[in-house]
Structure 1
Amino acid sequence: MKSCVTIALVPQIKTGPWIYWDDLEASLTKAAVLGFDAVELFTASADAIDPSRLASLLEQTGLQLAAVGTGAGKVIQGLTLTDPDPKIRAKAIAFIADMIQFGANFGAPAIIGSMQGNVAPGVEKEQALRWLADGLDILGEQAEAQGVNLIYEPLNRYETNLINDLRTAAAFIDGLATRHVVLLADLFHMNIEESSLPDSIRSTGSSIGHVHFADSNRRPIGLGHIAMAEVATALKEIGYAGYVSAEAFPFPTSDLAAQQTISSFNTYFR
């Protein structure tokens, strides 16, 4: 397993759960000094960062790009894959496709979390799930063409009324035409929705392609009540060898949150 820390460069999501903010070069330098293996990046769009500059900074720091987030598509542009308007769904697919291409330049997959959307008033859930499946099928094939997977993240019930738990999500992606969508196991969301985090990990292990490392209160691991030793054991049992990425609040500060995260990662995985 490889350690990862989040960097957000989108002012509109300033209250969100990301460790580092605003300054890409300084954040990468700090992450490298602490010993992280990679970063997960949140940008306003696929063209918000010059790829050559990012490549240079990653080379200088020795870090990998683990994944790219797509949430700005919803926050800034109001785009989701389940909007009743087909024109908005098409724009959402185009936005994510651009993010897939951006991340694939660095071997990094894109994450679909908030851009999955919700079941809108007046829409049957089955219809919303068909729209979601259609979007994931299109985007999964585009990801394959770029040499990466697509990551789908089930969110807790307070953030979406589509799919909230890993088992349901695993069954859903198993029913897709594409074979290139994997699951994101976010420990914060799982703490709300799963009856047992370790059991859910064990039962869906073959589908898990990314892990978000955050405690029950969305603070860094060790500052809440998740039984992390049991979760770590389950991840080891399924042979998980991907990134364990800190999508957590910068509490009490970004620097201290990063230190807490890498210390916890080293405790459980090294």
Structure 2
Amino acid sequence: MTVAPRFGIHAGVWGFDWSADAAERTIGAAAAAGYDLIEIPAIDRARSDAGDTARALDRHGIAPAVSLALGTDDDITSADSARRDRGERRLTDAVAFASEIGATFVGGVVFSAMGRYLELPTPAARDRSLAVLRRIAALAEARGITLGVEYVNRYESNLLNTAAQTVAFLDDLGAPNVLLHLDTFHAAIEETSLAAAIDAAGDRLGYIHASESHRGRLGTGTIDWDRFAADLHTAGYTGPITVETFSSTVIGDAAAIDIGLWRPMWADPDELATTTLHFLRTRFAAAAIPTL
């Protein structure tokens, strides 16, 4: 019997406000569109109540995942111990938030800052990242949480840009609850092919961002989604596949500038969510049909 992947969607499709009302609207919209899970960026627990999120998830019957991206001021590769400490606190807080809302996965750019580096990577910086993540992985494991290390393109980290680099990093980390988080937008820039990325990741592949080559609507860029679905089916992947697409008309100027989203990619998040889920289900259903 073929087991289909679980499909999720990033909360940022509806924007990055996470007030109690916004959480209710966003979680309700993702559930109404038919998704199995919603990926929620880690909140500032000193300013927001995780209970609001937990109650909305329970009301709408949808599972959560949590994500974050470290920045320059909390980069755990930094030689500045204060920056590393801030990064470790952010990661610790994200694990706590996940535990409070019933999430069993925390992924994203958890290994370095997400941004353009102006220096070459060094073994010392890599070792500093590994040291922090070993402690975070142990903390997460005690709470039944898996971490995902999302490698990103050369303009958004100098440390991990490919699946092969990430597998080597995970080997050195030595934590059984840490897996590879593959984002098709970044992989399409850095890998020779998405098939090669899937092959390099092997059984470490634990979470996927389905993101178009321009971060817009799936099927309107250069990624061959039929081939990608077929390659994942061949690899036996049954984990989460989470839609990650953003539009400047929804996320606002500050967030658009932060991720370099210089033009609107679509207008209606509810329509986008519904049609994208149909797009993915159609392709993965076709990939599961045996050929004669």
Same fold by TM-score, threshold 0.5 exceeded? yes
Kindly provide the CA deviation profile for residues 165-201 of structure 1, in whole angstroms up to 9, marking residues without a partner as x: 0111111111213222111110000000010101220
Gaps of 5+ in 2: 248-264, 286-292
Other-structure match for 2:104: 108
Aligned partner of 1:186 among 179, 183, 186: 183
Q: Which AA in structure 2 matches 1:180?
A: N
Contact 1:96–1:139 under 8 Å retained in 2: yes
Displacement after TM superposition at 1:122 (Å):
6.9
Aligned-pair identity in percent equals 27
Task: Kindly report which structure 2 residues correspond to 1:42-121, keeping only aligned pairs within 5 A, or say none.
Answer: 42-65=41-64, 67-71=65-69, 74=71, 78-105=73-100, 106-113=102-109, 116-117=112-113
Residues 164 and 40 of structure 1: CA distance in aligned 2, closer, same or farther (over 3 Å):
same
Residues 215 and 53 of structure 1: CA distance in aligned 2, closer, same or farther (over 3 Å):
same
Task: Kindly report which structure 2 residues correspond to 1:6-17, keeping only aligned pairs within 5 A, or say none.
Answer: 6-7=10-11
Aligned partner of 1:266 among 272, 277, 281: 281
Other-structure match for 1:166: 163
Residues 119 and 218 of structure 1: CA distance in aligned 2, closer, same or farther (over 3 Å):
closer
Residues 223 and 46 of structure 1: CA distance in aligned 2, closer, same or farther (over 3 Å):
farther
**1-structure distance, mates of 2:89, 2:161:** 25
The answer to whether 1:252 aligns with 2:266 is yes
Displacement after TM superposition at 1:257 (Å):
2.4
**1-structure distance, mates of 2:142, 2:104:** 13
Displacement after TM superposition at 1:119 (Å):
9.4
Displacement after TM superposition at 1:97 (Å):
0.8
Q: What is the SS of the residue equivalent to 1:116?
A: strand
Q: Which AA in structure 1 matches 2:34?
A: G
Kindly provide the CA deviation profile for residues 72-123 of structure 1, in whole angstroms up to 9, marking residues without a partner as x: x528xx2111122112101211211111121123133222416612796677
Gaps of 5+ in 1: 8-17
**1-structure distance, mates of 2:229, 2:119:** 42
The answer to whether 1:129 aligns with 2:126 is yes
**Higher radius of gyration, 1 or 2:** 2
Q: Which AA in structure 2 matches 1:2?
A: R
Q: What is the SS of the residue equivalent to 1:19?
A: helix
Q: Which AA in structure 1 matches 2:275?
A: Q
Q: TM-score, normalised by structure 1?
A: 0.87
Contact 1:222–1:260 under 8 Å retained in 2: no
**1-structure distance, mates of 2:160, 2:169:** 9
Other-structure match for 1:39: 38
Task: Kindly report which structure 2 residues correspond to 1:10-29, keeping only aligned pairs within 5 A, or say none.
Answer: 18-21=12-15, 22=17, 23-29=22-28
Query: What is the RMSD computed on CA atoms of the aligned residues?
Result: 2.1
Q: What is the SS of the residue equivalent to 1:266?
A: helix
Displacement after TM superposition at 1:214 (Å):
0.8
Aligned length: 256
Displacement after TM superposition at 1:137 (Å):
1.1
The answer to whether 1:221 aligns with 2:218 is yes
**2-structure distance, mates of 1:124, 1:107:** 32
